[in-house]
Amino acid sequence: MNPEFRDAVYQIVAAIPPGHVSSYGAVAKQAGFPRHARFVGRLMSQLPKDTRLPWHRVLRSDRRIALVGTPAGEVQIQRLRDENVPVLSDRVPKHYFL
DNA sequence: CCATTGACCAGCT
DNA sequence: AAGCTGGCCAATG
């Protein structure tokens, strides 16, 4: 994976403030690599489990949680609720997006 | 080298 | 609102 892309993505995700969320596609675009939403997802999936990056604040463009029903998905929902972001039917209200 | 696989997305029905 | 479709493109087998 291109290190430029990887570093830019990390920086942008790290900058998402608590209580807010963004999407894979939006992060890719801000990183300067539009059309690479899937690779943002790939990077998130490859993060070490002890990472400090707030990966749980990245959702799909349809405002849904990725990987619903899997352990990672449940962790993501729990973490969002812990920072007062409601998750209703696997979905986060629009106004929580950046 | 060709095919399949994704923490995805915009457009259309 | 919800489901399909085609496009995306590096990684993997």
Q: Tell me the whole-structure pTM to 2 decimals.
A: 0.95
User: Band of the pLDDT at A61, cuts 50, 70, 90?
Assistant: very high
Q: Are strands A58-59 and A22-23 parallel, antiparallel or unpaired?
A: parallel
How do residues A16-39 score in pLDDT, each as one tens digit?
A: 999 999 999 999 999 999 999 999
Which residue in A55, A38, A52 sits closest to A1, CA to CA?
A38
Q: Strand B: which residues 18-47 of A lie within 7 A (CB)?
A: 23-26, 37-42, 44-45, 47
Nearest nucleic acid nucleotide to A58, CA to C1' distance: B7
* Strand stretches in A1-98, DSSP E: 22-23, 58-59
Chain B positions with any atom < 7 A from a protein CB = 6-10
pLDDT at A32: 97
CATH 1.10.540.10 fits A3-96, yes or no: no
A8/A44 Cα distance (integer angstroms): 13
> Band of the pLDDT at A80, cuts 50, 70, 90?
very high
Name the residue ranges covered by the structural domains of chain A: 3-96
Could you check: is the Cβ of residue A35 within 7 Å of any atom of nucleic acid strand C? yes
What are the beta bridge partners of residue A28?
A: none
What is the rounded CA–CA span in Å between residue A11 and residue A31? Answer: 9
